[in-house]
Each structure stands twice: as structure tokens, then as C-alpha cells.
Amino acid sequence: MKINIKRVRILQDGVAKRGPVVYWMSRDQRADDNWALLYAQEIALNAKVPLLVVFCLVPDFLNATIRHYGFMLKGLEETMQTLSKKKMPLTIILGQPNKALPQYLESRKAGSLVTDFDPLRIKRIWKAEVASVISIPFYEVDAHNIVPCWHGSSKQEYGAYTIRPKILKALPEFLTPFPKLRIHPFRLSSQPPTANINKLVTTLCIDRSVKEVGWIHPGEKQAIKVLRRFLRHGLAAYAEARNDPNRSGQSGLSPYLHFGQISAQRIATEVMDAKVSKQAKDTFLEELIVRRELSDNYCFYNSCYDSFEGFPSWAKKTLNEHRRDRRDYLYSLKEFEQGQTHDILWNAAQRELRITGKMHGYMRMYWAKKILEWTKTPEKAMAIAVYLNDRYSLDGRDPNGYAGIAWSIGGVHDRAWNTHAVYGKVRYMSYNGCKSKFDVQSYIDNIKGYRHA
């Protein structure tokens, strides 16, 4: 089966050499259901050459800590074992991609290079740098979105209401079954050495001040287990339960999606086949497909996705008009980080994030909006929210995070609401509003019992 070529972009043209095809795995860290890997295999089979997979490990990546590196590397270990059985060895190389990757390609006499798509700035810089120093063909495949980001829309969308019809129209073309990854028949005469993941996790020179968490286990098999459990016990009630922080109404899949340990397309297919109400499926698929792909669209077409400059003009105008409004409370980054505000609900949400590495989706909105309210400027609020989310959240450093924070603080994908001090026309949220939606005290009490693993 041939891969739909609309999933593929050429980052660098060139004449393929007669060496192995290399898949530079980055965002989509899985062996199964991975369009980028499948495309790399398709080229390698046609050229009758080996297929090698490489992961470039960069310490000090966007405020990531051992919490993230541990989850990622343990997931990669499983992927490495699966790929080894498929005769496409996965090698981990250490260093900045612009140096480490060209050296690796040279040492393996690579014939062409394939990578997966990521709209984040740093990834695009890496790819541009690599493309500028290699001469072999270099392809990028969107293996994360169901509808490839550049195909879903050719511009930044205003909101879910503008991207939804485009995505829904394109879905039938892209929501196709995954072909099976074959055992690769063309191999190198000597296999590259495999990394010792345990050693890497303990010796890597990274920030170790944020602890790993024990409630969630990384890897492709675990991701599928969590999905199947959600299909059996969570999906039917998703529409009613997902906004109540006291109920485990969400799927819990975002860390796996973030590290690419599961494909959104696999999740969507299984949800569509589930025997639950259409309303439950539609509500979940709206989040998984429309909202998630809207976040990628935002980061892809707006290079200021994590700062004030990225906000829509109506939001910048209203926030500028309210710059001088009196703030009832002002907190430093440290006070936010330690959960030392006057608001016990906010502190509980921050504690949930710090200890578990995952804050409930509803609380995330309240959390980010209060950072705007209790900080001197929206620029500072944005920087603090991004820093804390990226540092503590297992699913941080994700387009969903940047879009979610920009929605909360800067009205991205939202509309103008009634004016409120500090917020201007950006949607306001209050403690009392939360009280009317769920049992705030029970959430706070529950979080008090959380301890580091």
C-alpha cells in the first residue's frame, strides 16, 4: 500500500544515494501506526536498501526535566526493542541535531532522510539547519495529525468553527487503515550498537529537580492499555464527566500523544468503532481531532505562538487598554511555582501539576487565567504559564499547551466577552464560577492527600 503523498513534504531536494534510508524519529516516538516510519520503509523497499532509525537526544530541551526525559527514554526503549525485531535498528545519538545528525548520516552513508512533522519553532530550526548541510533528499511526514497540518488549512484559523468544516471534509481521505510495518528485508552487514537506556536515564546531564511520577507508565503498550480502559470505562460518560475535576472523566492520553507513543488516528478509529452514544463519540472526537489539530495549525502558522505577539489584534488591543488596571494580588514566579497564592483552589491545581505532572483540563483554564490576573503584564503572565506548564506537565512543550495558554490569556481561538478589570474583553473565570460547576472543596481536599511517589 502506498502512503498518501499529501502527508509528505520535501524539505530538501536531492538525488538519493545508494545508502540506507534514515528515519529521524522526533515527535512520533513509536513503531506502530507511524506514517513517517511507513513512508521511510516504502522508500527503502523501493530502493532495496536498509532502513535505520535515529533519535537525536538533546539535553536541556525547552525546560524539560528528568520527569520528561525518563518518560520519553523508557518509551523509546520499548520502541527500540520492537524496531529491532523488525530489523530496523534504532540508534540514540546525543547532541544538537545540526552537528550530530549530519555526522551520523555521513558515517552511515545514508541515501535519503525522512523525519516526522512538528510545528514548534525549535524543531523547524533544527530541520532547516540539517537541510542546509546535507545533499540527500530530506522528507517530512505529518504522522501526528490525521489530516496533515498543511493540507487541513493553508492559513492560521480563527477558531474551531473555521477549521472544523475543513478537517471534517478531509477526514475520509486520511482516516485510512494503517498498513503493517514489515520486517525489513535489507540489512546492514553489522548492526549499530543499541543504547543502554537505564544508563542514559541515570547519567544524562539534565535538570533532575522535578521528580518522575509513578501513576503513569510510558510506552506504546501502556498507551494502548490506557486507551482500551478508557473505551471500556470512560468514553460513554465523557460528555458529562470531562469538565468535573473530581471525576476521572478524561482519557489521560495526552502524555502518550505528546511523546507520540500512540497515534491520534489509532485512538480516533477505535473511538469511532466503540459501542457508545454518538454524542459521547462526537464530544471526544471534537477534542482529539478538531481542537488538537487546531493547536498544530496555530503553532504552524503563527511563529509567536508562545508570546503576547501571537494574540489576535482584538485581544492585544483590549489587554493594552487594561495594562494599568489595579491588580488585587501580584505574585512572583516562585510564589506561583510553590502554590503560595491567597486562592486555595489555584494552589491545589498547581500542587496537582507539581506532584502528578498532569492538571485536570478544566482547572488548566482557571489556572492560566489567574496567572494573567495576578501578574503585572500579559507578557509576563504568558511567560510564567508557559514555563510552569513546560517544566511540570508531562504533556508540556506541546502545541496544545501553547494554544491552551494563549486561549486563556490572549483570547486565541475565542471571542470578545464582557469587559472585566485586567482581562479587558478576554474571557474571565472566577472561583465562584468554579463553585457553580463542581465541588471545589472536594477537589482541594483530594489534592491535599497527594504525595510525591
- Residues at the contact surface with ligand FAD, assessed by CB under 6 A: 242, 250-254, 257-258, 287-288, 291-292, 295, 361, 364-365, 368, 389, 393, 395-396, 398, 400-401, 404-405, 407-408
Minimum CB separation of residue 173 from ligand FAD in Å reads: 22
Minimum CB separation of residue 40 from ligand FAD in Å reads: 25
Question: What's the CA gap between 79 and 55, in Å, rounded?
Answer: 11
Q: Which is nearer to ligand FAD, 129 or 379 (CB)?
A: 379
Minimum CB separation of residue 34 from ligand FAD in Å reads: 17
DSSP code for 413: T
Q: Which is nearer to ligand FAD, 80 or 257 (CB)?
A: 257
Question: What's the CA gap between 213 and 252, in Å, rounded?
Answer: 14
In the structure grid, which three cell numbers stand for residue 290, read together? 478538531
Strand 112-116 relative to strand 138-141, pairing: parallel
- DSSP 3-state assignment of 218? coil
**Whose grid coordinates read 503553532?**
299
Q: Which is nearer to ligand FAD, 109 or 225 (CB)?
A: 225
In the structure grid, which three cell numbers stand for residue 400, read together? 496544545
Minimum CB separation of residue 314 from ligand FAD in Å reads: 19
CB 60 within 8 A of CB 208: no
Q: Which is nearer to ligand FAD, 42 or 414 (CB)?
A: 414
CA–CA–CA angle 345, 347, 352 (5° rounding) = 95
Measure Cα distances from 286 to 135, 160, 247, 271 in Å: 41, 9, 20, 12
Q: Which is nearer to ligand FAD, 263 or 295 (CB)?
A: 295
Minimum CB separation of residue 369 from ligand FAD in Å reads: 8
Q: Which is nearer to ligand FAD, 126 or 407 (CB)?
A: 407
Q: Which is nearer to ligand FAD, 212 or 398 (CB)?
A: 398
Question: What's the CA gap between 372 and 18, in Å, rounded?
Answer: 55
Minimum CB separation of residue 190 from ligand FAD in Å reads: 40
Strands (E), 62-195: 90-94, 112-116, 138-141
Neighbours of 326 (CB within 10 A): 6
In the structure grid, which three cell numbers stand for residue 185, read together? 528485508
Minimum CB separation of residue 361 from ligand FAD in Å reads: 3
Minimum CB separation of residue 293 from ligand FAD in Å reads: 8
Minimum CB separation of residue 376 from ligand FAD in Å reads: 19
Q: Which is nearer to ligand FAD, 42 or 296 (CB)?
A: 296
Minimum CB separation of residue 286 from ligand FAD in Å reads: 9
CB 172 within 8 A of CB 289: no
> What residue type is 259 in one-letter code?
F
Nearest to 3 by CA among 41, 31, 29, 30: 41
Q: List CB contacts of 20: < 8 A, sequence separation 6 or more.
A: 44, 49, 50, 51, 52, 108, 109, 110, 111, 188
Minimum CB separation of residue 378 from ligand FAD in Å reads: 14
DSSP code for 189: S
CA–CA–CA angle 281, 282, 285 (5° rounding) = 85
Cite the DSSP H helix spans in 205-287. Answer: 220-233, 238-241, 254-258, 264-273, 278-285
Q: Which is nearer to ligand FAD, 108 or 420 (CB)?
A: 420
Task: Using the CB atoms, write b or e for 330-361: b if 16+ within 10 Å.
Answer: ebeeeebbebebebebbbbbbbbbbbbbbbbe
Q: Which is nearer to ligand FAD, 12 or 254 (CB)?
A: 254
Measure Cα distances from 335 to 329, 364, 450 in Å: 12, 18, 19
For the chain, give the number of residues: 453
Q: Which is nearer to ligand FAD, 23 or 392 (CB)?
A: 392
